[in-house]
Structure 1
């Protein structure tokens, strides 16, 4: 009770705060000379950063896949019908334009018809991005002659290649460093890592097996870790690396399957680490690969 009362007192004294527009830019008004002497300039930049993006959710009901924005194919015009006025925006999509037009032409209430639009303000102009549900593709990889299993960690990916009998034919450790990197630098690093993983799958013509991780549970565990460990975990984009790997796999026609991650590290450590001469994480990736091939350990 004493500890809980102390926590409540601390929250009242130092309430939790959220900063929209990046905390780094918010603090810059007190640390950068250009903003210390010119608060109006800081305010303009801060409000721009805070309000520069808007997401309009799509719906498969309706003719255009979105209730607010309607993309006219014949005139290449985006139409926004507001309460007081209608706005016409001339627009030209380049990447995956054919797929976007195909989605717009789908019949009302067809699964996959919903189109989400993202608006980004870049000072002098708007950038409009369309987010679509991609159709399923035939893959060029199989599990008949083995798979590639990966174990994702804070600073590296442990990778194991197996044959048709579930035995190891190759291992690899792919290192990366995300700490003290900007968001763009992290994204570039993760893309390079995903490219290397998918290239190995293509080289061996094998399906990629990954863990179906529960990130909510993993983040809940952070409260019991040391501060140094939490700093590393919070900087590690668990979800982002899986997204980049699956995105790359889709482009390269590589099949990806998720398996239950329960006890993979423990089984790998007790059953395969010493007998196979593997590290803890490589042993875990081996268990993940075998689980993807429906072998029981």
Structure 2
């Protein structure tokens, strides 16, 4: 969707008052419909009743019912009580209720709350009417206007002003929308005594010309340090080139400033994909606040995550790519960092962020990653006694304050899932193609076990950054005795 904002300039005071009265009646209609929906009324019965009560045509009433239903569904999805919804904003309502502000500041808050409560109007577009019947963009020699239906086949015309600097571009967009005859929705809002119109139209993207048939560009976003890693692969998933885009501007600053730089970084990625004629593969992120016991435990980490805004950046990449006719593929990001760290970082001597982007690119092409044979051989040599030694070693290291909570939580989880095979002696992990001898209460991924069994003994007191030490395991399947004093039986 494309949304264009414009300020309404009325030709007379009477036209402005008629529009404000229409907005007040529509807002009241929407609140009334919300209450009736809570009581179980259906749309058809409400539509006939509300037209007579608020003196609105059927289209306005239908839009009011749709908005009320959207608010009701939103409350239910958030787990809130729909009966306690406050139109106009709960924060402003709580401030006004406490009466801790007097004089002009109180009057200003009250006016702001009344504007949010009563100064709204929404009108949906209609393809059969080639635009919007109640609020239509009209272009003539005098300029660009919004024609507002105030009832009884009477109309009010307001000039559309989009600001001094952007007036020309936005006016041109509005004129193109009116000329194409596509359906567009219009929402009027009253702010600081001025009426603003928001025009939303579904964007028509060109046909996809750059597809995964030519290869792909994998994108891995990282909040700490702020950068975006990308890797280019060919159609068979072979490594071609890579790079990093530092993004220090996303660590702080105003919301508008960060939004501007997100668009700039998205343009850089799309430019690279367009020049190389490759599709773009991004992560399907589901960012959640995991609290003090999850991945985002520290104050600094939460601040960086807040300013970075993964979802907003990837959304911009997706939109810009579609405008350029570039295919965008979303993949599940599970285990991409672990696989990249253990398998590809030592092979190509690259950082784990670049390796993670490589895994994402290959996954976008439908490639699946297998655990290297030497890693499986290493795991297969784990017998019961060595497993107990590994568990005892990990238990001691977990108590070490140098380990981060994220590492401790992961290690404890994996160790709790690995159990002795009981009376069946010998190996816990059968080689590829063999029968599994793992005894678990629930299924888990061998990549997680491999990370604990290999990486933790090599780097128990810090996050392992240099993955080159794993290359000798991949090549020979052997690794020297660790200097930290851990048993070498589970290190080959």
TM-score by length of 2: 0.45
Distance in 1, Cα, partners of 2:113 & 2:251 = 23
Pairwise CA distance, 1:102? 2.1
Q: Measured at CA, do residues 39 and 221 of structure 1 come closer, stay the same or move farther in structure 2, by a change above 3 Å? A: same
* Largest Rg, 1 or 2: 2
Pairwise CA distance, 1:271? 1.9
Q: Measured at CA, do residues 264 and 164 of structure 1 come closer, stay the same or move farther in structure 2, by a change above 3 Å? A: same
SS in structure 1 at match of 2:202: coil
Instruction: Give RMSD over aligned pairs.
Output: 3.7
Query: Which has a greater percent of strand?
Result: 1
1:143 matched to 2:199: no
Distance in 1, Cα, partners of 2:123 & 2:285 = 26
> 2:212 touches 2:327 (CA, 8 Å); kept in 1?
no
Alignment of 1:50-129 (within 5 A): 56=122, 58-60=124-126, 63=129, 65-66=131-132, 69-72=135-138, 76-82=144-150, 86-91=155-160, 93-95=171-173, 97-104=175-182, 113=183, 115-119=184-188, 126-129=195-198
Which structure would you say has the larger RCO, counting Cα contacts within 8 Å and 6 or more residues apart?
Answer: 1
Unpaired stretches in structure 2, ≥5 consecutive residues: 1-88, 94-99, 162-170, 370-492
Distance in 1, Cα, partners of 2:120 & 2:366 = 44
Structure 2 counterpart of 1:108:
none
Q: Measured at CA, do residues 18 and 158 of structure 1 come closer, stay the same or move farther in structure 2, by a change above 3 Å? A: farther
**Which range moved further: 221-230 or 116-125?**
116-125
**Which range moved further: 147-156 or 78-87?**
78-87
Structure 2 counterpart of 1:165:
236
Residue of structure 1 aligned with 2:278, choices 206, 209, 212: 206
Structure 1 counterpart of 2:309:
237
Distance in 1, Cα, partners of 2:177 & 2:215 = 34
1:226 matched to 2:297: yes
Q: Measured at CA, do residues 202 and 66 of structure 1 come closer, stay the same or move farther in structure 2, by a change above 3 Å? A: same
**Which range moved further: 181-190 or 81-90?**
81-90
Distance in 1, Cα, partners of 2:103 & 2:350 = 57
Structure 1 counterpart of 2:392:
none
Q: Measured at CA, do residues 250 and 71 of structure 1 come closer, stay the same or move farther in structure 2, by a change above 3 Å? A: same
Pairwise CA distance, 1:260? 2.4
1:186 matched to 2:254: no
Pairwise CA distance, 1:65? 4.8
Deviations 1:194-253 (A, max 9, x none): 111111111211111111222xxx224246332412222222222221222123223333
> 1:55 touches 1:116 (CA, 8 Å); kept in 2?
no
Deviations 1:166-212 (A, max 9, x none): 11111111111323310110011111111111111112111111112
> 2:187 touches 2:197 (CA, 8 Å); kept in 1?
yes
Q: Measured at CA, do residues 159 and 222 of structure 1 come closer, stay the same or move farther in structure 2, by a change above 3 Å? A: farther
Q: Measured at CA, do residues 181 and 270 of structure 1 come closer, stay the same or move farther in structure 2, by a change above 3 Å? A: same
> 1:64 touches 1:70 (CA, 8 Å); kept in 2?
no
Unpaired stretches in structure 1, ≥5 consecutive residues: 1-16, 22-29, 31-35, 105-112
Pairwise CA distance, 1:120? 6.3
Number of residues paired by the alignment?
Answer: 257
TM-score by length of 1: 0.70
Distance in 2, Cα, partners of 1:289 & 1:196 = 17
Deviations 1:94-127 (A, max 9, x none): 12632443244xxxxxxxx3x2335466768655
Query: Which has a greater percent of helix?
Result: 2
